[in-house]
A and B are shown apart, each in its own frame.
Chain A
C-alpha cells in the first residue's frame, strides 16, 4: 500500500525550497530565488503555502534600510520532508 505523497511538498518549486532549506540553518529570500530560478511573485506564493502548513518560518526585518526576508525550516517541516523522502523511496522500491 502506497503512502499518499504530501501535496504541499509534491510541487516542484515548494520541494526545491524545502530541499534548499533542509541543509542550512536559514537562507535569505533572494538566495532561494536565485537558486530556484523562480520569479519573486511565484516564490512568495509558494513560501506562503509552506508557511501556512507550518513547514517554514519566515522572518521579515530591515537591513541597511532594505526589507530582508529570511526563511528557515521548522521541526514540523523536517518531519514532513523526511516522510516525503521515505514515501518516494517506497515508490521506487516497488518500481524496481
Chain B
C-alpha cells in the first residue's frame, strides 16, 4: 500500500470500510472445543445411564471423572491457541468471559450441591446452565445453530421437570448433541470454508 496523501474523501471512506471488514469478517471459531466437550458429555451421560440401568458399577457417577482429562486437554488447546493468536477482538474477549462465568457457576453449583447433599435435579440445573454460554456465544458469533442449541437446552430443562433423575441423563445427551456437537461440526465447516 502506498503512503500517498493525494486521495479524495470517497477513497478515504472506501479504504476505511475495506480495512474494517478485513478485521471484522475473520471467523476464528473452528468448533474444536464444542466438539470436545459435546462428545465428552455425550459419552459420560450415555455410559452413566447404561451403568445405572444394568447395574454395572457400584458408583456409576465416577464415569464423570473423565471430564478432568478433557479439562487437561482443553488447557493444552487453549494455550496453543493463545500462542497462535495474532489479533484480539472485543468479541473474542467477551466470549471468553462468558465461558469463564459458566465454569465458575458450574463449580459453585456442584460445590453447593455436594455440601448440602442435594443431588436430585442436578441435571436440570446443568441444562439451565448449558443454555447460557451456548446462546450468548451464538449471539456474539452471529451463529444461529448455537442460539438454537441454547434454546433447546432451556426447553429440555423445563421438560426435565417431568422426567425421572435417571432419564434426565438422556436429556443431557440430547442437549449436548443439539447445543455443542451439531453446532461444533457446522462451525468447523464454516471455519474451513472461510479460511481456505
Contacts and interface: CB of A to CB of B under 8 A. Distances in A.
Interface of A: 7, 10-16, 19-28, 30-31, 35-38, 42, 46, 63-64, 85, 88, 91-92, 95
Contact of A10 (B5, B13, B87, B93): B5
Nearest to A72: B88
Contacts of A42: 3
A24 B90 contact: yes
A10 B88 contact: no
A38 B71 CA distance: 41
Contacts of A64: 83
A36 B2 CA distance: 10
A28 B87 contact: yes
Interface stretch (B15-23, B103-111, B125-133, B171-179): B15-23
B159 to A, nearest CB: 40
- Determine chain B's interface SS by DSSP, over half rule: helix
16 contacts: A7-B5, A11-B3, A11-B5, A13-B2, A16-B1, A19-B19, A22-B20, A25-B89, A25-B92, A26-B88, A27-B87, A42-B3, A63-B83, A91-B9, A92-B9, A92-B13
B126 to A, nearest CB: 32
Contacts of B13: 85, 88, 92
B12 interface: yes
A38 B1 contact: yes
Given A16-B19, A19-B15, A88-B13, 5 more contacts: A12-B5, A13-B1, A23-B20, A25-B93, A27-B88
Contacts, number: 82
B59 interface: no
Nearest to A46: B3
A85 B20 CA distance: 13
Contacts of A26: 87-88
Contacts of B142: none
Interface residues of B, number: 27
A94 B42 CA distance: 62
A37 B18 CA distance: 13
B23 A24 contact: yes
B164 interface: no
A83 to B, nearest CB: 13
Contact of A25 (B3, B18, B90): B90
B10 interface: yes
A90 to B, nearest CB: 9
Nearest to B89: A24
Contact of A12 (B2, B17, B24, B90): B2
A57 to B, nearest CB: 13
